[in-house]
Each structure stands twice: as structure tokens, then as C-alpha cells.
């Protein structure tokens, strides 16, 4: 699997990168060194990954702030709307303001 043309990803890239006139022939006849290098990089990413300040920041943003943002929106809006059985000019708020009622 280490970068040869036997992997699934490598075969799919070969199919996608073929010119339209060669797409009847599913497998390419010659190796593409760029696809081999990309497949090898993807196979070895777990051995070469290091936490740097940039990757730590991105991990914190993706795994910390994004779920917290969704949770905050859910908590703030949880008891605000009532969509069941509303007519055309009625307020969608669960507890409408007096001037809107």
C-alpha cells in the first residue's frame, strides 16, 4: 500500500485524472509519479504529524469553538420560537411582544 498503484485512492486518482478520450480504458498503462508521491504521503501521515502551534490552534477551533457555538445557539433559541399552528400574520415567537400581538 505504500504508494504503489495497488491502493484504492491511487486507482481512483488515475481514473479521475485520465483525459476524456482515454476514459474507456479504466486503468492507466504508465505510472504517474505524482500520484505515487501523494498516495505515499497519505499512507504515512500518521507517522509524520506533529502538534505545532498552528495545528494546536486549528484543533482547538474545530473541536472546541465550533461545537460550543452550536450549543450556544441551541440554548439561546431553545424556548424562543413556536412554529406549530401559526397563521399567516401571527408572530412566530413563543411569547410575542405586546406590540406584535
47-77 residue pLDDT tens:
888 999 999 999 999 999 999 999 999 998 8
Q: Which pTM does this prediction carry?
A: 0.45
36 and 58 belong to one structural domain:
no
Q: Helices (H) and strands (E) in the chain — how many of each?
A: 5, 0
Q: Is the pLDDT of residue 41 over 50?
A: yes
Q: Write down the pLDDT at residue 3.
A: 47
Residue 27 pLDDT grade (very low, low, confident, very high; cuts 50, 70, 90): low
Q: Is the pLDDT of residue 101 over 60?
A: no
33 and 67 belong to one structural domain:
no
9-26 residue pLDDT tens:
666 666 666 655 555 555
- How far is residue 39's CA from residue 9's CA, in Å, rounded to a whole number? 7
Residue 75 in any domain: the answer is: yes
40 and 83 belong to one structural domain:
no
14 and 37 belong to one structural domain:
yes
Contacts of 82 (CB under 8 A, 6+ apart): 92, 93, 94
Residue 1 in any domain: the answer is: no
- How far is residue 62's CA from residue 60's CA, in Å, rounded to a whole number? 6
Domain that holds residue 98: 51-101
Amino acid at each position: 500500500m505504500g504508494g504503489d498503484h495497488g491502493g484504492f485512492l491511487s486507482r481512483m486518482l488515475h481514473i479521475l485524472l485520465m483525459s476524456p478520450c482515454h476514459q474507456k480504458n479504466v486503468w492507466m498503462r504508465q505510472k504517474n509519479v505524482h500520484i505515487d508521491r501523494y498516495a505515499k504521503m497519505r499512507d504515512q501521515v500518521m507517522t509524520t504529524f506533529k502538534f505545532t502551534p498552528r495545528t494546536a490552534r486549528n484543533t482547538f477551533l474545530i473541536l472546541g469553538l465550533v461545537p460550543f457555538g452550536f450549543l450556544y445557539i441551541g440554548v439561546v433559541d431553545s424556548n424562543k420560537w413556536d412554529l406549530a399552528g401559526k397563521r399567516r400574520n401571527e408572530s412566530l415567537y413563543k411569547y410575542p411582544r405586546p406590540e406584535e400581538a
